[in-house]
Amino acid sequence: MDDVMAQDDLLAMRELLHIMRRLRDPQFGCPWDVQQTFRSIAPYTLEEAYEVADAIERDDLVALRDELGDLLLQVVFHARMAEEAGHFDFAEVAAGIADKMLRRHPHVFGDEQVRSAEDQTRRWEAIKAEERAASGASQDDDSALAGVSLAMPGLLRAVKLTRRAARVAFDWPDADGVFDKVAEELDELRAEHRQHGGHERLEDELGDLLFATANLARHLELDPEAALRRANRKFERRFRHMERHLAGRGERLDTVDFEERERAWNRAKQHERQEQ
């Protein structure tokens, strides 16, 4: 059975690679696909990754299957462009990640032993540091923060930076200190606003508040991006409920007063609690 599944996987992957070669053919391919570059495709790659996360959050496995396919297409697209330029091909991408998984799981593919998932996480990071040192990447940057990608979403990068700092003991001893820091940063933002601070100062203070909030998420073992996506969905549900309720009375949000909008919002919240 495993051999049959492996053969099916191989055939499906070969077909996808063939399709991408056809799409990128300068003479007979798709003009849009032919015009793309690494930079032009990068935003789509990020978008598809977020759509995978969204399908997971919604527990929609049918959508997850489709979104994973879209994300895989992005990998194939980038690999094809690299192959055309003589840099690397899809086989090298796949072989590279396979080798990396073997190196970073010596407790599975070697003789090492780990006691817990936390031990494995620490070992994983140690192996990554060894890889950076071996590649010479640490010669110009030996900081504990080296290698944290600038392209990561801001909240996740903040979590990554504070996690790295915590490994060298630069951290709050518990979440209480971070709660206080969030309150402090909120007060500073409010004070700057009251003093009619300029755009740059307000942005700086808001950034400090968001950074502290991301650090709090790390201490609480929460994903701030997932928490924000959940809050976004909650807001959208309640907002749409308000629109429907007012529309049923022949009204719109922009035609009622503030007090009525507040009542509509509270009704939406109450409706959601009753549905749970």
pLDDT tens figures, 134-152: 776 555 667 888 878 887 8
Instruction: Quote the CA–CA distance of 217 and 228 in Å, as a whole number.
Output: 11
For domain 143-222, the CATH superfamily is MazG-like (1.10.287.1080)
**Res 217 pLDDT > 90:** yes
Q: Is the pTM of this model over 0.95?
A: no
Please state which of the ranges 41-55, 126-140, 155-169, 176-190 shows the lowest mean pLDDT.
126-140
The Cβ of residue 183 has, within 10 Å, a number of other Cβ atoms equal to 12
Per-residue pLDDT averaged across 119-140, rounded? 73
Domain 2-104, architecture per CATH:
Orthogonal Bundle (1.10)
Q: Residue 273: what pLDDT? A: 84
Q: Which amino acid is residue 91, in one-letter code? A: A
The Cβ of residue 185 has, within 10 Å, a number of other Cβ atoms equal to 19
Per-residue pLDDT averaged across 248-273, rounded? 89
Per-residue pLDDT averaged across 3-14, rounded? 82
146: left (phi over 0), alpha (psi -120 to 50) or beta: beta
Per-residue pLDDT averaged across 222-241, rounded? 91
Residues of the chain with CATH 1.10.287.1080: 2-104, 143-222
**Res 32 pLDDT > 70:** yes
Instruction: Quote the CA–CA distance of 129 and 137 in Å, as a whole number.
Output: 10
Question: Scanning the structure block, which residue is given the tokens 């022949």?
Answer: 250
Per-residue pLDDT averaged across 5-34, rounded? 93
